[in-house]
Amino acid sequence: MTESAIAEHLQQERTLPARTPQNYHPAYPVYTTRWGKNVTDLVMAVLGTQFSTRSNQADEARAKLLSFLEPDSTDISTRPSFSEVTSVTDARGHYNEAIIAYWPSITAYRQWAVESGFQQWWDALDAERESHGWFLEVFFPTMDRIETVYTNNEVGEGAAHMRDSFSGAIAEHGYWGSMRDRLPASQTNPLDGDKVDWNAKETEDSAGSAKRRIRVPGTPNLAVIRSAQDWADTSPAERELYLNEMHPVLVKGMDYIRDYGYETGCYSCRLMDVVDAKTAKADRDRTFGLAYFDELASLERWSREHPTHLAIFGGFFRYAKKLNNQITLRLSHEVLVLQPEQQLFEYVGCHAATGMLTSVYGHPGLAQIT
């Protein structure tokens, strides 16, 4: 017995058909998050630092960002509901750390930004004086523009830390198009974005972007996916199988859309390690891919057609078969499809291939970015 991924209070008469195959029944259960009817929006923020090489400065920068989240920095009601520290080495070989944080409403986020002193500090950053980069990427989805899916209904990931509950097993998964079918907005909205014309982008000037503060405007129906992997509680045998057979295939797929995303409409892809907040050591046995696509259709097309994702998809089924479907690996994702005003991107002293700066300067895989 399954239920709809779309909560009852968000269901409406479809003007666009669902893509569920006729007489379809999922082969295995997955779950989604349920929020209360009074929840109208939430916030996911990426508070980041960037260095040409890893150094002690990274520890200082991380401590500065974490100070805005400390109990004495602001009232408990406005602090994030969940946050964690992550790291990644990007396409240019720069070391990045980021705090991923979630708030249960836009109001709570804005109150935190002011009361903690973060907004005042952020606005005062001077790219000319900073010895490294800072970036801020914030998403403000209304509840009709987010969908989540989890292989486990006991341990939360990301936005699920703010859930009222998990759903029962859902009907819309395991077929091409199910991601779109889980989005409430897709019932009446095709969620078309602006296709990227990479040839129309600026070229990076001789000074580069590193000594500037750049705010990038939002784009229509930007698709954001955070796709997580958690093998912390796997048995030794399953852990070995995951690390030797499945994780390398995932890395290959993430590296492809990081380096050649211009072929698929992907602005940015980071495969991030969840790390210790004090040492930044990647000892949490958790990673997630964070990618930004020009529209949901581009993300769907890469998922459905490209060999790198088909290898990931096929690899999971082989993995499950070897374990007789007795899997303790936890997989999940959250997908946001956002209107321009639901996006905030600002970069202080970052190189031109950072995040959504590719929408200004072009993709790092293109020859114009060297």
Q: Structurally, how many domains does the chain consist of?
A: 1
Residue 309: pLDDT over 50 = yes
**165 belongs to a structural domain:** no
**274 belongs to a structural domain:** yes
**149 belongs to a structural domain:** no
**Catalytic member of 94, 309, 333, 351:** 333
Please, is 325 exposed, middle or buried when counting C-beta atoms within 10 Å of its C-beta (0-12, 13-18, 19+)? exposed
**What is residue 202's predicted lDDT score, i.e. its pLDDT?**
67
C-beta atoms surrounding 188 within 10 Å: 12
H helices within the chain, ranges in order? 56-67, 106-115, 118-124, 178-181, 236-241, 247-260, 296-305, 307-322, 358-361
- Tell me the CATH number at 292: 3.30.70.100
**350 belongs to a structural domain:** yes
**24 belongs to a structural domain:** no
Over range 77-96, report the average pLDDT. 92
Residue 186: pLDDT over 90 = yes
Cα–Cα distance, 5 to 272 (Å, whole number) = 27
**What is residue 207's predicted lDDT score, i.e. its pLDDT?**
44
Whether 333 is a known active-site residue: answer yes
**137 belongs to a structural domain:** yes
Tens of pLDDT, residue by residue over 283-294, are: 899 999 999 999
Query: Domain span at residue 298?
Result: 43-142+192-361
**186 belongs to a structural domain:** no
**345 belongs to a structural domain:** yes
**What is residue 55's predicted lDDT score, i.e. its pLDDT?**
85
